[in-house]
Structures are given as C-alpha cells and as structure tokens.
Amino acid sequence: MRRYSTHNKRKRLNPVLLLVLLLTASLTILLGRAILTTDYQTERLGDDVAQFQKLSGVESPVTAVLLNFRGYDTLLEVMVLLMAVVGVWSLTQAPFPGKPIEPGPVQLAVVRLLTPLMVLFAFYLVWKGSSLAGGAFQGGAVLGGACVLMLVSELPWIKNIPSRHLRIGLLAGPFVFLGTAILCLILEGTFLAYPQGWAGSLLLLIETACAVSIGLTLACLFAGGRPKDDLSRGRKR
C-alpha cells in the first residue's frame, strides 16, 4: 500500500505527465468545440431505414440495419469474435484446476435452476429481436452468461467437452451467416440479398446460429484458453 502511494506521488511531479495532461485537455477542448459547431445534418440514414423497413423482413429498425441493410458489417463482426477465440486459443491452454472441486448444494441448485431459464430467455431475446430491442448479440450475451455460470461452478463434464464439438459450436454462426450470404449470391445474384419474402425467416436462422456461437465465444474467452485435447487429435505420428 505504501509503495503504491509513493509510486503515485512520484508520478504527480513528473513534468512529462503534466505535458500529457495539458495535451489531452486541449484535445478535449478542441473536439468539444468541433461538436458545438457541428451544424446538424437533418438528412440522415434513419429516413432511408424507415422507408425501406418493410422490405427488410423485420420490424425492429436496429435489427434491420444490423442484419439486412448493413449485414455485411455484422458478418465481419461475427468473424472478429471468432478470431478473438482463435487468438486466445493460440496463446495458451485453459487454466483448469487439476482436481475437480465438488460444487456445493446451493451452487448446484442455482446452476440447475438458472441455466435453463437463462437459455430460454436467451432464445426469447433472439426471437423478439425481429420486433423489439433484442437479437443475436443480446441473446448470445445471456447464453454466454449461462455458460460462464456453469464454468465457474466447475461442473466436472465442462472441461471434458471435446474440442471438436466446441469448434463446431463456435463456427456455427459464421458458417450459417456466410453460407446464407453465398446462397443469396447463387440464387439472387447478389451477396447478402435475401430472396423476397424469405428475409424474415433467414434472419431468424442467422440470428439463432449466431447467438449460439456468440454465447460459446464469450464462454471460451472467459475460460481463457484452448481445451486440453485440442492438439492430441488430427494427424497421427
């Protein structure tokens, strides 16, 4: 504690830090001025969104933008999530304790009660995403929460999930999304142009697959590394 405070004290006297403080303060002022002088554009993309809402297959404008009008962004973003997991897996193995700890009765009861509820709620969020605030990311976050709950209660089977299953789960969202996009390319002639009348159901399919993958992604990020059996499979030598 004492070392910490002296550390801080030395910092405050540093002239370089003062300079940095001055610079960031002036940056704030400059940017603040820029915000104040912005003449607000009345024409926004929001008007176009409202105009084409009916064609998008969903009622919620945010979901329409996210998955239809700017669906390409979301496709890349799902890839970003996957790459984070690949990156984490390439760095280290998941640090599971060697001995499984027997979870207490209260903990077990909580997990047993809450997990199904959370999963149910996650899919409700995905389902509702077409008309209200909700969707793959919100649902995926709840699903991820359920997975994390199971992870922290150290259920014995959790760490024995084969890495192949995890991979398939992680890839489900990107595969379905990219596959649908390519299917659109083949059927409609344009990447990510959903066929007329099918948009709603295709979006729901994509959202469901993505929610599962996002939930798993978050759990894998929380676990903090690749599963143990990740390299023992594959080529024999």
Partner 1 sequence: MITNLLYSFGGLMLFSMGLFALIACSHPLRKILAINVMATGVFLILIATAYRQIGTGEIDPVPQAMVLTGIVVSVSVTALALILACRVQETSNHSLIQRKKDDFTRTGT
Partner 2 sequence: MISFEGQSWIILPLILPLAAGLFCFLSRRWAFALSLTAALGNLLSIGVLLNQFLDTGPLTYNVGNWKTPLGIALRIDGPSILMLLMTAVTGLGITLYARGYFAFRIAVPKRIGRHERQERFFWPLWMTLWASLNGLFLSADIFNMYVTLELISIPAVALAALSGKPASQIAAFRYLLVSLLGSLSYLLGVVFVYKTYGVLDLVLLSGKTASGAGMAALALMSVGLLLKTALFPMHFWLPPAHANALAPVSAILSSLVVKGSFYLLFRLWFDVFASAVTEPMVNILGTLGAGAIVWGALQAIRQKRLKLLVAYSTVSQLGYLFIAFPLAYLDMGTHWGTVAFMVLAHACAKSAMFMASGTIFLHAGHDRINDLAGVRSYIPVTVFAYAIAGVNIMGLPPSGGFIAKWLLISSSINSSQWWWGIIVMIGSLLASVYIFRVVSRFFVIPEGYKVPDRRPHSPLLEWPALVLALIALLLGLIAPYPLHILETGNSLFSMVSPKGLPL
Residues near partner 1, by CB under 8 A:
11, 17, 20-21, 24-25, 27-28, 31-32, 35-36, 42, 44-46, 49-50, 61-62, 64-66, 70, 73-74, 77, 80-81, 83-85, 87-88, 91-92, 137, 214, 217-218, 221-222, 224-225
Amino acid at 192: L
Which residues, numbered 24-43, are part of the site for partner 2 (CB under 8 A)?
A: 30-31, 33-35, 37-43
Question: Which residues on neighbouring strands pair with residue 226, listed in sequence order?
Answer: 93
CB of 148 to partner 2, least distance (A): 22
| Phi, psi for 226 (deg, rounded to 5) | -80, 155
Answer yes or no: are the C-beta atoms of 39 and 56 closer than 8 Å.
Answer: no
Count of CB atoms situated within 10 Å of the CB of 182: 12
| Residue showing tokens 């998008």 | 56
| Phi, psi for 13 (deg, rounded to 5) | -85, -10
Return the number of the residue (47 or 102) whose C-beta is nearest partner 2: 47
Amino acid at 83: M
Residues, the chain: 237
Which of partner 1, partner 2, none interacts with 237 (beta carbon under 5 to 8 A by kind)? partner 2
Which of partner 1, partner 2, none interacts with 1 (beta carbon under 5 to 8 A by kind)? none
Determine if 90 is a binding residue for partner 2 (CB under 8 A). Answer: yes
Amino acid at 57: G
Secondary structure letter of residue 58 according to DSSP: -
Determine if 187 is a binding residue for partner 2 (CB under 8 A). Answer: yes
Determine if 52 is a binding residue for partner 2 (CB under 8 A). Answer: yes
Going 230 to 233 to 234 to 235, the CA torsion angle's sign is positive
- Of residues 17, 22, 25, 45, which one binds partner 2 by CB under 8 A? 45
Which of partner 1, partner 2, none interacts with 224 (beta carbon under 5 to 8 A by kind)? partner 1
49 CB burial (10 A radius; 0-12, 13-18, 19+) = middle
- Of residues 140, 144, 174, 215, which one binds partner 2 by CB under 8 A? 174
Q: At what angle do helices 105-128 and 136-152 cross, to 10 degrees?
A: 170
Site for partner 2, rule CB under 8 A = 30-31, 33-35, 37-45, 48-49, 52, 68-73, 76-77, 79-80, 82-84, 86-87, 89-91, 167-168, 170-171, 174-175, 178, 181-182, 184-194, 231, 234-235, 237
